[in-house]
Chains A and B, each alone.
Chain A
Amino acid sequence: MRTGSTVNRRTAALLPLVAFLAALPSMAPAFFINFVMTQTLMLGLAAATIVFLAKYGGMVSLAQFLLFGVAGFMYGNAALEAGSRGLNLGWHPWAAVASALAVTTAAAFALGALASRTTGLYYLMLTLVYAVIGYFVFAQITEISGPSGITSIERPELLAAPVSLYYTALGLSVLAYIGFRALGRTAFGLALQGVRDDPVRMASLGFNVPLHRTLAFALGGFVAGLGGLVNVWWNGQIDPASIGIGPTLILLIIAVIGGVSHFEGAWLGAFVYVLMFTYLRDLPLIDRIGITEARFNTVIGAIVLLIMVLSPQGLAGIADRLRRRLPRPRRPGAERPAKTTGRLTRAELIDE
């Protein structure tokens, strides 16, 4: 259980970081802002929904990237005029945004309701099945995905400048971070954490366990949809291959690199991933040791493997552990019990 001071300290630490990020476009090259940072923020936003579901609900979901893609496809279908691919509904961009978010949230609600009686490994497998079936749905039903993706998708005029997309992603990320953390202390958030720890007890106390899981999943879907909208504006196009099993795993990998039990970890993991994806090929001598751009997945897989073997809590967990090592006055009894064995239960992997 975190004390109030920790919460305040974290919020206080957030302010300078946000100020720094807001000022970044005037300091850094445009490529870094519009490519690296925008991508980091939108992938972080999507990965944060994995963290949210895992941390509060004990549900490790692989369907978040599908919902990310659903929002993109729906926006593309709704916003484009006749003559292009997809349904060409030709709606006003903001109407398209609203409809995309509505469809994504509704889809998340339905999928979440279907999965709401399972947890743990079953949840992981079921959501992986969602992700792959969702990919096949978009790949086969070309009416809604265009023969090979929906292309030349325009942003709303308000976001025409490239840097405005960065600010959009930044604003949404900050909102999601604060919102998710605040949600953890609301009645719903506390009940959700109770459901995670002991569903039987919560059910006997009168809480509707499946409903809590479903609502959490729908909320996660909504936020993932926001990320998906930024993604489709950023890319200008979306095709079924971009929501296949590969990208789905990448999003989980981002959450795992950062640490599945830390909201910061989502953006941290996304930053590490995008940095590696962008700059790994530029490192001197890197192709001499057999790591070329084409073998990128091997590198990223090996890193995840290493993280999972060494510390399942990811980079944020490692940072946390280092911070705990620093001598700091503590109340007696506030110490965590020392881990005597290397065993780690699911609750520990998920819990903070």
Chain B
Amino acid sequence: MIATRRRLPALCAAAVAVAAAVWVLFLATDTPAGTAVEHPGAFAVTVLDAVTFAGLLFVAASGFTLIFGLMRTVNMAHGSLFLLAAYVAIGVQQAMVGKTRNIDAAEVGIADWLVPMLVGAAAAAVVGTVIQQAFLQWNEGQELRQALITLAITVVLADQMLREFGGLAQRMVWPGAVTHFITIFGQRYATTRLFMLGVAVVIGVLLWLWLDRTRLGMIVRAGVDDRQMVRGLGINIRLVFAVVFFAGAFLAGVGGVLGASFAGAAPGTDGAWLLNALVVVIIGGLGSLKGAAAGSLLYGTVVAFSPVYLPSQYSFYAIILTFGLLALVLAVRPYGLYGRPA
């Protein structure tokens, strides 16, 4: 009896997942996409949308979860670093191409995208490290105070970026070499989204190699498990903290540049991407890279599927499904899929 009650949320979650799959496959006739069985093209495109968006989500959330995993710092300024990198990269790209508006993809070489991305991400990483050194390093362990400090920094940074970069939406331009369309089941699909997924996969692999195959990564993983022990072994954990914060902010920056190429950058993008990172890590579990990947996929799936597989007149209600996903996961696992109580 008790065992059944314990499993009840998990059973409910499974039932909802099955119901959603049945709906998408056979029943969703009155929706923008139609049922997956009758319109496999729309289904394939939606799946690709989900996976590619999940790639972007992963890049944005992995830095957040990396920082939390080691330092227990919730970096609420993550979205600000994301937006800052986007603005810097857009500025550098405009300088490299030599035009400030109406840049055509054909004018953008691979280097005209890659160099701005690295510069922008490095700018975010430097600002992030300064924040960590100036405001977070000396009050280590006071989690709530750190969260509030980074929130205050978010308010200041958002206002200063508005002053510096203006209120109009700007866009980073994908390199011309990847701006094509391919055909999937008779549907055109932009290769830039696949390129974005490729970048995300490369970053994920590099991150895994770093954490799993290098000495520093070993120390980081040990620090996640037991900071005091690592310190006791004579390792300068302060330095490790700084490096990890640098890396986390850099990842936020890469995410920001990808995001600016994908959907543009404007005031408010910072808040939206802080939300995205938070949703991913709340679903996946704070501090776990595996969780970030799983959370990105789940959240990306809901974001991609809900607008096209809801009945046409209810498309506006897509946002509620995000909330439903959150509720479902938290009902089964309060600390996220791969999380542990802090």
Interface residues in chain A, defined as those with a beta carbon under 8 Å from any beta carbon in chain B: 60, 114-115, 117-118, 120-122, 124-126, 128-129, 132-133, 136-137, 140-142, 244-246, 249, 252-253, 256, 294-298, 300-302, 304-305, 308-309, 312, 342-346, 349-350
B74 within 8 A of A: yes
CB-CB under 8 A from A132, the residues of chain B are 271-272, 275
Find the A residue at minimum CB distance from B317.
A141
B155 and A124 contact, CB distance less than 8 A: no
Contacting residues, chain A, for B316 (C-beta < 8 A): 140-142
Q: How far is the CB of A111 from chain B (nearest CB, A)?
A: 9
Q: Provide the bound-state CA to CA distance between A41 and B143, in Å.
A: 30
Inside 8 A of A297's CB, which chain B residues have their CB? Answer: 155-156, 158-159
Query: In the bound complex, do residue B163 and residue A294 qualify as a contact, i.e. CB atoms below 8 Å apart?
Result: yes
Query: B331–A122 contact, CB under 8 A?
Result: no
Report chain B residues within 8 Å CB of A136: 319
* Contacts A122-B286, A297-B155 given; does A305 touch B143 at CB 8 Å: no
In angstroms, Cα B281 to Cα A298, docked, is: 29
Query: Which of B144, B145, B320, B322 lies at the interface centre, i.e. has the most chain A CB atoms within 10 A of its CB?
Result: B144
Interface of A, secondary structure class, is helix
- Specify which chain B residues have a CB less than 8 angstroms from the CB of A126 in the assembled complex: 282, 326, 330
B323 x A309 contact (CB < 8 A): no
Q: Contact check, A249 vs B154: say whether CB atoms are below 8 A apart.
A: yes
Q: For the complex of A and B, list the 7 residue pairs with the smallest distance between their C-beta atoms, beginning with the closest.
A: A301-B155, A301-B156, A117-B334, A297-B159, A304-B152, A245-B271, A305-B152
For B147, give its contact among A121, A301, A345, A350 (CB under 8 Å): A121
Which residues of A sit under 8 angstroms from B72, Cβ to Cβ?
121
Contacts of A256 in B (CB 8 A): 148
- Asked if A305 and B149 make an inter-chain contact with CB atoms under 8 angstroms apart, the answer reads yes
Question: Number of B residues contacting the other chain (C-beta, 8 Å)?
Answer: 47
Q: Is B335 an interface residue (CB 8 A)?
A: yes
**Does A349 contact B142, Cβ atoms closer than 8 Å?**
yes
Q: Is the CB of A349 within 8 A of B286?
A: no
Do the beta carbons of A124 and B145 come within 8 Å of each other? no
Binary contact readout B222-241 vs A (1 if CB under 8 angstroms, 0 otherwise): 00000000000000000000
Known: A122-B282, A132-B272, A142-B316. 9 other contacts (CB 8 A): A129-B282, A133-B323, A256-B148, A305-B135, A305-B149, A305-B152, A305-B156, A312-B148, A343-B141
Name 14 A/B residue pairs within 8 A (Cβ), A-sorted.
A128-B274, A129-B275, A140-B316, A245-B274, A249-B155, A297-B158, A298-B160, A301-B152, A304-B148, A304-B155, A308-B149, A309-B149, A344-B142, A346-B143
A294 and B166 CA atoms in complex are apart in Å by: 12
* B153 interface residue (CB < 8 Å to A): yes
B144→A137 contact, CB < 8 A: no
B positions within 8 Å CB-CB of A: 72, 74, 135, 138-139, 141-145, 147-149, 151-156, 158-160, 163, 268, 271-272, 274-275, 278-279, 281-282, 286, 316-320, 322-323, 326-327, 330-331, 334-335, 342
Chain A contacts of B152 at CB under 8 A?
253, 301-302, 304-305, 308
Known: A253-B155, A301-B152, A343-B141. A133 touches B147 (CB 8 A): no
Is A346's CB under 8 angstroms from B159's CB?
no
Give CA–CA (A138, B256) in the complex, Å.
Answer: 26
Residue of A nearest to B138 (CB): A342
Contact yes or no, A133 B322, CB < 8 A: yes
Residue of B nearest to A139 (CB): B319
A121 engages B74 (CB within 8 Å): yes
| CA distance in complex: A301, B143 (Å) | 19
Report A-chain residues with C-beta under 8 Å of the C-beta of B141: 343, 345
- The complex places the Cα of A338 from the Cα of B153 at a distance, in Å, of 31
In the complex the two chains form, is A300's CB within 8 Å of B149's CB? no
Among A120, A295, A308, chain B packs the most CB atoms within 10 A around the CB of A308
Given contacts A124-B147, A125-B282, contact A118 B155 (CB under 8 A): no
**Bound form: Cα–Cα A141–B271 in Å:** 20
Closest-by-CB residue of A relative to B272 is: A132
Judging by beta carbons under 8 Å apart, are A128 and B322 in contact?
Answer: no
Compute how far the CA of A253 lies from the CA of B153 in the bound complex, rounded to whole angstroms.
Answer: 12
Closest B residue to A305 using CB positions: B152
Kindly state the separation between the CA atoms of A350 and B148 in the bound complex, as whole angstroms: 13
Q: Are A308 and B145 interface neighbours, CB within 8 A? A: yes
Could you tell me if B327 and A121 are in contact, using CB atoms closer than 8 angstroms?
no
A245–B272 alpha-carbon span in the complex (Å): 9
- Chain B residue, CB-CB nearest to A130: B323
Tell me whether B144 and A295 are in contact (CB under 8 A): no
Q: Which residue on A lies nearest to B148, using beta carbons?
A: A308
| Neighbouring B residues of A137 by C-beta, 8 Å | 319-320, 323
Chain B residue contacts of A121, Cβ below 8 A: 72, 74, 143-144, 147, 286, 342
Report the bound CA distance from A120 to B147 in whole Å. 11
Residues on the B chain within 8 Å of A309, using CB: 135, 149
